[in-house]
Structure 1
């Protein structure tokens, strides 16, 4: 463990560059013992503790207190017989994918390979194959966590069901998770990629209507697996991005308003299933193909360079197409800033009950709006858009509050929030791990 009052740039840097990080103490943890020492020191000094692995999920400024950096704790080990992986707190999804692939296995990772696997899973973990297998949190076997009393505990559903439930969905408010044991799925290849359309040639609202109509057929799509039921596993999303005219961008994106549908599917008849999408309009780019799972990050091709961004999310119980079309209009090329819109189709395995605190499983779609504008300008664009969606919004997603940590409402339903508050008072009565963003901390 290194305690650095000089605040080295290496430990304070992260993917999100839009917020100031000025803790009083920085602990570069190399092991679980280091985390134990850091938490005990913070408790003795009555200093709040925050955690950073890759810095993707930074929701706002960090001022004072103790920052525990887990980036050096990045070991991943796979048990191919049990189909599990042990993943330390600093490991990125790309490492887990690469470790599992030689065994014909895959984790339930998200679209960006550079995101920290543990922190993403604690927030639920909406993955590339989410409709087939559910949330990443649904597949956690055990968690090693340092709680506010300075104890390193191994938590399972059997050993501590309440704490297990709370950590998987709200883990950042209950301690420092140093390692997870997660279940892997038997996926070696998939059919996936994206279809892109020019938003100046194809009406964005019409494209979205066609996509939404196509998703309504998804529950009956898929081919029967050997000895099993038909797969409910076609996972997809719709995106709208007005790209700037910059030489660094690929020619087919430069200066265009790009509409795209992203698809991931483990069945054998992907081409037939996506055929209706090709009728949306002239195809600008087509990357749909059979691919090894190790190339699954190319489906979304998320940016891999640190930058500033601000945004939020809304889980929708219903999908009002007229309202969604108006949101596209307000966030399109005329918005005054580059706004990335992504709409994920939910349902399938995401709607199944699980022994964790991941909420809003009844949601039909997840809308994410993100912009690289400064915070005030971003709110001026995004807040009215989310207000339009409010009548059909169930709540917000913890993993996709991109800097919007100044609002605590909406992350959990009332019953879940009340239970989390009770467990918070039991495991962290002094709020050593403040998590005001989630609305259950005192």
Structure 2
């Protein structure tokens, strides 16, 4: 129940939000609901990232009401203590814990939200609340505002505007604060150690799901919560399916295997992709394709630190460079510039170069300022760099390349001194990988 960070960190984040928000505003954040798995079973609960980021609260069936202004206040609506239920499902904070552990100024049972919300919102000029996200909470909010506006004595007590908090809040989360970085580094380290273990233990004839299970084991035994997302283990032509999570086929000698996996650690995530031979070495075509992707990936990481670079500019750069590589490999023919302009690369490289990483694997925050101006990298951003080439099995493809898929992904922290690769402990050079594979077999 102890919050992930010192309470002062959450107070600083809330102050930053209200500094960027309209004056005299309130922010209402409901937690994520419990997700049903089947008849009477539920999925393990995963805390709502926005709620946790601003309050440290990680429980379901709760609502955080944050009040800005000269006298800021945290009001938490939580599940009350219930000894009988807690014997089955575990301890709850209760209203007392919300105050003593999370530092709330006021705490009430969640059933009292409708009763108390009007009094707490009265006199606020703006309410930041995401409509159509939690319909059950929507009805409480809209009924409360309607009642405030209909009050005879003080009809001007209702907030005059409802605004989506995500543009402000998610831009804050895009740039990591100093206290977040050690946790992100550890998530990356656990992920890298697990990938190295997969390279060391993978053998021809193993099932893809065995490799996924090995990764899960490594994540957990190193202190992680488990996989940050459904692990991808794609052997052979399964590697050309971008989000292949079936993981039910045997790994064959002579094929490559693409492993896209990361650990969740204390609500933060790692995300790494490595592509290595099931046997001891890459074949000629495999080696050529892999090296082409690696060359682009290494140079893209270096470019993350260049002034003015953005995720959008680097994605476009990677498309051009991979187009050039495809021509060199004989998979495209013609002028590189013309092929790039015609988007011929889309047949082999259909995704962006990377994504933000943090509490969400595909973390929040806009890639553009306004409608179409690319947002440059800021110090404190963590971004994945993951170019790939996915060669279809079509008859017009040279036979040696058919069904080959390569993606190489690292997690990169943007700093004032250049890029810091958080996942460098996972080998990616051909010589390093082949040495590990020879030792494994």
Which one has a larger percent helix, Structure 1 or Structure 2? 2
Which one has a larger percent strand, Structure 1 or Structure 2? 1
What is the TM-score when the length of structure 1 is the normalising length? 0.24
What is the TM-score when the length of structure 2 is the normalising length? 0.24
The answer to which structure, 1 or 2, has the higher relative contact order (CA under 8 A, 6+ apart) is: 1
| Greater Cα radius of gyration, structure 1 or 2 | 2
